[in-house]
């Protein structure tokens, strides 16, 4: 995962992975994992599982969720990933690995099933959706995409800064989670320009 995070998923060969793992046989990766997509899925699964456990614990604290507001559901979306990254110590590579995969169209589907289909994430998204104001379908889809990008790349940029020894804006991962939660609540509650005005804009 370190090689993928630091150099890009498509730039790393099976030979490089085998050498980094201390394997003299360049076919070891294919033998143990199969295709590149299979290896990426295995990496994503390994790290998505503890994030899922952390999110399930947060959801259990919400109970049936009837009294939960938008901020509560956004916290359940954000905090499990940042808490996991805090626990992995320094350096970590998972956020940068994820950013590499989601920006490469040929690889997105290889990891999406492992990271986007968890029961706890589905319940979180369902709860969040119930708290949202009425939004046009195109605006909702756009803000969904913005949410993914903001989450993934904010965490990846902090992870990169820590690995390079520079000082990120926030002191710790918990503070990053708070900033992301604030930003995403604001994103989802932001006013929407009426369609007629949008169509008239240059």
Of residues 60 and 27, more confidently modeled:
60
Indicate the pTM of the whole model: 0.80
**What's residue 92's pLDDT?**
86
Instruction: Give domain 2-12+27-191's CATH architecture.
Output: Orthogonal Bundle (1.10)
pLDDT band at 202; cut points 50, 70, 90: low
- pLDDT exceeds 60 at position 87: yes
Q: Which of 1-10, 120-129, 151-160 is the least confident region?
A: 1-10
pLDDT band at 3; cut points 50, 70, 90: low
CA distance 130 to 36: 38
In the chain, pLDDT over 90 holds for what percent of residues?
A: 47
Task: Average the pLDDT over 14-23 and give the result.
Answer: 55
pLDDT band at 153; cut points 50, 70, 90: very high
CA distance 160 to 6: 9
Query: pLDDT digits over 106-142, tens only?
Result: 667 766 666 667 889 999 999 999 999 999 999 999 9
**Contact (Cβ atoms closer than 8 angstroms) between residue 80 and residue 88:** no
- pLDDT exceeds 90 at position 33: no
Query: pLDDT digits over 157-194, tens only?
Result: 999 999 888 888 888 999 999 999 999 999 999 999 98
Whole-number average pLDDT of the chain: 82
Task: Average the pLDDT over 52-76 and give the result.
Answer: 93
**What's residue 31's pLDDT?**
45
């Amino acid at each position: 995962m370190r090689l993928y995070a630091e150099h890009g998923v498509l730039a790393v060969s099976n030979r490089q992975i085998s050498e980094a793992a201390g394997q003299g046989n360049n076919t070891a990766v294919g033998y143990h994992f199969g295709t590149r997509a299979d290896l990426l899925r295995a990496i994503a699964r390994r790290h998505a599982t503890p994030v899922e456990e952390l999110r399930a614990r947060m959801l259990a604290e919400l109970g049936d969720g009837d009294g939960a507001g938008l901020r509560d559901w956004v916290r359940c979306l954000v905090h499990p990933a940042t808490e996991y990254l805090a626990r992995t110590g320094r350096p970590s590579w998972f956020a940068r690995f994820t950013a590499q995969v989601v920006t490469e169209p040929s690889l997105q589907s290889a990891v999406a099933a492992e990271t986007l289909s968890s029961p706890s994430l589905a319940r979180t998204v369902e709860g969040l959706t119930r708290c949202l104001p009425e939004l046009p379908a195109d605006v909702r889809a756009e803000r969904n995409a913005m949410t993914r990008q903001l989450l993934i790349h904010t965490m990846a940029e902090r992870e990169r800064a820590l690995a390079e020894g520079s000082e990120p804006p926030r002191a710790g991962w918990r503070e990053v989670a708070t900033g992301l939660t604030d930003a995403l609540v604001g994103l989802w509650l932001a006013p929407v320009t009426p369609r007629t005005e949008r169509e008239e804009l240059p």
